[in-house]
Amino acid sequence: MQSLSSIRAPESANDELFDGLVRLARQHVGVMSALVIAGAEDQPRIRTCVGAALEHAVSLGHLEAPWRCTDALLVVPDVQCDERLRDLDLLAAAPHIRFLLACPLRAPAGEVLGILYLLHDQPRELNMAQQQTLHELAQLAAQLLAREAADADWQQQVDLLRENERRMALAITGSGTGIWDRNVATGEIHYSSGWKALLGYAEHEVGNRIEESYTRVHPADLTYVQASIQAHLEQHTEAYEVEHRLQCRDGSYKWVCSRGKVVERDVAGQPLRMIGTTTDISAMRALSEQAQQTASLMTDLTNEIPGMAFQYQRLADGRSCFTYASGGVRTIYGLSPEQLLANPDLLHEIIHPEDWALYLSSLAISATNLTPWHLEYRVQLPQQGTFWRQGDACPRQLEDGSVLWHGFIADITEHKLIEAELQEFATTDFLTQLCNRRSFMLQLETELSRVQRTAGHCATLLMFDLDHFKDINDRWGHFVGDQALRHFAAILRAQLRKTDAAGRMGGEEFAVLLSDTDIAQAMSFGERIRSELARTPLVHAGEQIPLAVSVGIAAINAGDPTPEAALSRSDIALYRAKRSGRNRIECHSEAAH
């Protein structure tokens, strides 16, 4: 294979068909260069190349057989450590290249149409998700190349078919197109030998009744065919012409184009005779369907997949506009593509006010530094609510000084909700919905830092332990025990301020952090909890279950080396309350210890 530097690409090599895919592949794995080489092996052509240019001749000849015979990605984490590439000119000509990925772009028939390359100047490892994404992008690129070839072949076939049709009009006999002649009055229809052969029938295997002919029409096409014929018989159309499916002798269906015209009518205008032709268009239909499928794939990439593909331009004078927006804009912004293209200022009313400045500044930074744009932000859609969006785009500076972005905006609302749920799950005790021990200790650590750096700031820590909790479990069962824990947690929550925190430390032990609160205020808080607990016993199956709690209180000191120091003091006070008869409050005294 030729060296990359000897493969000359025209200035227009980076066409839009491949540029977006290659940029996406490069951005996805974060490499310095990505390119697509297509064409014959002896005349390769760079279709697109993004990223750092190669300064030396880089031969990739050793990447040929047997690798091209597979569909797998060739991933070389470090070309200098791969025995297969020991003699590769790449190492001598461009020693800064360390990572290489290559994937064949294979046509449905199996031939290689081109190769997608990713190159980087540092060793890399790719996970399975990245490899799968690259493989899918390579498949899309292959489909684009295949579509180009199919479109050219399709156009050639269409041109040839049209020429054949013109010749058939001049000399239909011997053209291979089937001919039929129908007696409208009697219902008889006669077929030429070519017509019968078209469907694989012998001369004697086709009857001459119109009723029988309709049995060969595909059921899904029958109503349409009969209506088209009737419209012509009643002179609503100049001629009869319809594409439909006919059943062959082997049971398969073939696409045909049937054309006909009434050539004889009676004095009252009633049709007597109709002559027409049947042409096999199966190949053309197959090519057309393939082209439509490829076109649909490209449409799906921009309009049908969740999210919005866009092209956004900021002019040198500071004005900006969207030059393209896919149909996904309706979901992302609640606008039609036409509305956004006509008035980009509509986004000012849609993007959350708290995120608008960040949205503008992130685009400005991307434009100034020509770095990829990435932003998570909120939108407010009328009558729908607030949602999260994630925007990603690659900027490119144009010759006139303007900056053009190609990008994609996705709905990440569900991801954000899951993220919040996971955060809550990681920080919340499932049973009581209070902070779990880990989360509470982090808040205690934060409060200790505030006490240490802020003169005059005070805080207290209270430890609560439900008295005789084991007796509750033994007498009424663990289900009632859980109810008791939830009941106590609800009483705690009702007494907390926004600046306070409460957590379940384990079993029937709870902790409360009171910010900007001294010992006397903490004792008052503890008494309120005891009083409320006594006033509102747990009710189960009509029976009142009295609950009581022991409380230990300790101040958080600026000299505490760790949060555990204050926790230990409050535990000591709690133990003293339990030892002194329970259902009471004890404060830790530094003098006593």
Task: State the residue for tokens 């008889």.
Answer: 188
- What are the φ and ψ backbone dihedral angles of 2, each rounded to 5 degrees? -70, 155
Q: Contact 242/228 with Cβ under 8 angstroms? A: yes
Instruction: List the domain boundaries for the chain.
Output: 4-146, 178-286, 305-417, 428-587
- What are the φ and ψ backbone dihedral angles of 491, each rounded to 5 degrees? -65, -40
Q: Which numeric CATH code is attached to 4-146?
A: 3.30.450.40
Q: Contact 288/154 with Cβ under 8 angstroms? A: yes
User: What does the block give as tokens for 115?
Assistant: 């190769």
State how far the Cα of 347 lies from the Cα of 341, in Å rounded to an integer.
Answer: 11
Please identify, in words, the CATH class of the domain defined by 305-417.
alpha beta
Between 17-21, 316-320, 366-370, the lowest mean confidence (pLDDT) is in 17-21
Half-sphere exposure of 343 (CA within 13 A, CB side): 9
DSSP readout, 436-495?
-HHHHHHHHHHHHHHHHHSTT--EEEEEEEETTHHHHHHHH-HHHHHHHHHHHHHHHHHH
Q: What local confidence, expressed as pLDDT, does residue 67 receive?
A: 55
Q: Contact 189/180 with Cβ under 8 angstroms? A: yes
Of 592, 467, 490, 472, give the one whose Cα is nearest residue 543.
472
> Which of 165, 354, 376, 508 is labelled catalytic?
508
Between 91-95, 186-190, 455-459, the lowest mean confidence (pLDDT) is in 91-95
Q: What local confidence, expressed as pLDDT, does residue 299 receive?
A: 64
The predicted-structure confidence for 268-322, as pLDDT tens digits, reads as follows 999 999 999 998 888 888 887 787 777 667 666 666 678 888 999 999 888 999 9
Q: What is the CATH T-level fold of the domain 428-587, as seen in this structure?
A: Alpha-Beta Plaits (3.30.70)
User: What is the bridge-based pairing of β-strands 549-555 and 585-587?
Assistant: parallel
Confidence of residue 53 (pLDDT cuts 50, 70, 90): low
Q: What is the reported pTM?
A: 0.38
Task: State the residue for tokens 């407010």.
Answer: 380
4-146 and 428-587 have identical folds: no
Q: Which numeric CATH code is attached to 178-286?
A: 3.30.450.20
508 catalytic? Reply is: yes
Q: What local confidence, expressed as pLDDT, does residue 151 receive?
A: 82
Q: Contact 281/258 with Cβ under 8 angstroms? A: no
State how far the Cα of 261 lies from the Cα of 229, in Å rounded to an integer.
Answer: 9
Q: What's the farthest any 2 CA atoms get from each other in the chain?
A: 128
State how far the Cα of 145 lies from the Cα of 201, in Å rounded to an integer.
Answer: 39
Q: What local confidence, expressed as pLDDT, does residue 543 receive?
A: 86
State how far the Cα of 510 lies from the Cα of 466, in Å rounded to an integer.
Answer: 9
- What are the φ and ψ backbone dihedral angles of 426, each rounded to 5 degrees? -75, -20
State how far the Cα of 30 lies from the Cα of 47, in Å rounded to an integer.
Answer: 20
